[in-house]
Amino acid sequence: MTLKIGFLGYGMMARAHAHALNRLPLFFPEAPETDRTIIAGRDPDGVSNAADRLGFDRSTTDWREVVPAVDVLYVLTPPTVHREPTVEALESGVHVLCEKPLSTSVSAGERMVETAADSDAVVGCGFNYRFLPAIQLLKQFVEEGELGTIRHVRGQFLQNWQADATDAWTWRNDAEIAGAGRVADAGSHSFDLARWLVGPIDSVSGQLTTTIDNRPVDGTDERRTVSTDDAYGVLARFDSGARAIFDGSRVATGHTNTNTIELVGSRGTARFHCERLNELEVCLEGDRGFRTISVTDPEDPYVDRWWPPGHGLGWEHSVVHENYEFLSAIRDDGTFEPDFETGLAVARIVDAVRRSDETGRRVAIR
């Protein structure tokens, strides 16, 4: 079986997924074979160059050309344009891997979930951090009870790429295109990990901030309004009674990529920091103090495919593993997690945070 692959979008995540497809034969030879068939984007030159660079047979500026030509659609466009192509693909029986956040509204997400339910296609939502070895090991610790009952969760996602008021405006600053801001873009990763590792979230109190409310537009004299949040704080309670704190920012001076998650349990505590993505810090029962595990042993998740101990992987490997699992699920007529229901659950949290910020009240999820 060779799966024909189509991409919508040719930005960073397109590069990451194309790279993953390129690497699978060397490192995961049992993965289904794929053919990078067609890639769509708005700018004809841009998408044509991307097709060359990323190894696609051809390119188009009309995404409607893509669905009929492929077995699998990768939806890598801004979130407001996720729903339409996804629904069309699913209605044609095409498998869909859609980047996160799944949707900018709960209703759009619901529509995507319903369509997926009516289809035999495999669907996935691009929460790639799940597929890092260290996060997989964290999941194992949780499932094997090494941490006991989880009490506290802390998820951060602090970056500084818009810390300066002179940093340029991007579509991520526009509510119409991006839906929400930092809370959707970064927060959704944290919310996904928390739900996956600990379980459903019952309620949230949220706080959104727009620290810098207009930004210069590159190549012009214009400054454009920032209509999305650039920082957020969230208090959450899980169905289980565990509590969580989340915060994120695009304007956090000094923070290159402080994407962290910590689980504090009755028997142990574990934490992960994305800038040191080959490491997991844990303090398990009987330990004095936190240990830094180099998650690079052959018995660690996915690691036997790569290099010897201590020869760390990079961020991109999360996407390789994600593609391996997603394509394997297609071959096996199986299901893939995180799916659209997960994406929708995360969208509901983002929505609840926004409502809590507006009303000043704790908001139940659902």
Q: How far is the CB of 237 from a copy of itself (least distance, A)?
A: 7
Q: How far is the CB of 240 from a copy of itself (least distance, A)?
A: 12
What 3-state class would DSSP assign to 34? strand
Whether the CB-CB separation of 74 and 18 falls below 8 Å is answered with no
Q: What mask, x for binding a copy of itself by CB under 8 A, covers residues 23 to 52?
A: x-xxx-x----------------------x
The b/e string for 15-49 (b: 16+ C-beta within 10 A; e otherwise) is bbbbebbebbeeebeebbebebbbbbbeeeeebbe
Q: How far is the CB of 109 from a copy of itself (least distance, A)?
A: 25
Stretch that binds a copy of itself, among 70-78, 170-178, 219-227, 235-243 (CB under 8 A): 235-243
Stretch that binds a copy of itself, among 72-80, 171-179, 188-196, 279-287 (CB under 8 A): 279-287
State which of residues 42, 64, 223, 361 lies at the interface with a copy of itself (CB under 8 A): 361
Q: What mask, x for binding a copy of itself by CB under 8 A, covers residues 297 to 336?
A: x--------xxxxxxxxxxxx-------------------
Q: What mask, x for binding a copy of itself by CB under 8 A, covers residues 55 to 84?
A: x-----------------------------
Find all residues with CB under 8 Å of 214, minimum gap 6, and list them: 169, 223, 224, 225, 226
Backbone angles phi, psi at 129, to 5 degrees: -60, -25
- CA–CA–CA angle 50, 277, 73 (5° rounding): 35
Residue 145 in contact with a copy of itself, rule: CB under 8 A: no
* Cβ proximity to a copy of itself, 4 vs 19, nearer residue: 19
Q: Which of 3, 55, 56, 58 is nearest to 32 (CA)?
A: 3
Whether the CB-CB separation of 86 and 329 falls below 8 Å is answered with no
Give the total of residues touching a copy of itself (CB under 8 A).
Answer: 88
What distance lies between CA 329 and its chain's CA centroid?
18
What 3-state class would DSSP assign to 267? coil
* Cβ proximity to a copy of itself, 224 vs 267, nearer residue: 267
